[in-house]
Structure 1
Amino acid sequence: MTVDTELRLSLPLPYAPIREGLFQVDPPTLLGSTCAVCRTSTFPARDFCPGCLADGPRQNCPLARHGSVFTYTVVYQAPGGRPTPYVLGYVDLDDNVRVLAQLDVPVDRVSIGMRVRLVLREVGKSHGVSVVGYAFAPDADSKEVKQ
């Protein structure tokens, strides 16, 4: 069984994304956009380019599912009902897009340069339906550290 198959089987049914247009489930992938002028890719998808400041045409695109931890912080105080501590970090995806996300890594095991992979998971409930969001977890298939 592949990681993609395991991921789809582990999502609760029925479910709703935390926000439409952030990711797709099959295969699990973040969705960004690429500027038609300078080819800069961003997440989430945007109507303007932060690279060249162009407005207008952009292409929606699937982003890499693997990357490296650029930096992180450990959160010890959070809104009510959210367990702490947890790790929040920036991940540099393999296609050069930087994403802010929770890292599903024990506090004492996270490190800068650590290889991670996209995971989708339940983040809450709304009207009896599971709300699914994204995070990054250690990439068991990768032994290298990208710096």
Structure 2
Amino acid sequence: MADISVTPSAVVAGANSAQDHGTAGETITAGKAVYKSATTKKWMLADSNSATAAARQAGGIALNGASDGQPITVHKSGDLTVGAVLTAGQAVYLSDTAGGLCLLADVGAGEYVCLIGLAKSTSVLAVDIQFPGVSL
């Protein structure tokens, strides 16, 4: 699987960003897809083929890097500059690499489909997470 190469220092929320603030439950880098653990209430790396069902549904994208116990801001929806080369109109999905983002062609058999958003330009992703709860 080939993940989209996000530049953490270039991750910037747009003016229409809906955000959540919380605590990281592990080391997280800006630009990684995350979910909120129902048990610990901490943000963790999302993963499309995780054995943990909740991890298969991203809740947003980390706007800053954080280690376990540190504060983190999560971009839940709206425009997000990702510091990656995107193709306008292309869909971006949760990857089977913890926190990773990929294209649909890279979502493999047995992975759960989690649409992160659509590219508005070569650098801006319109985040609107959709999770139908089905695997390929």
Normalised TM-score (structure 2): 0.30
Q: Over alpha carbons, which structure has the higher Rg?
A: 1
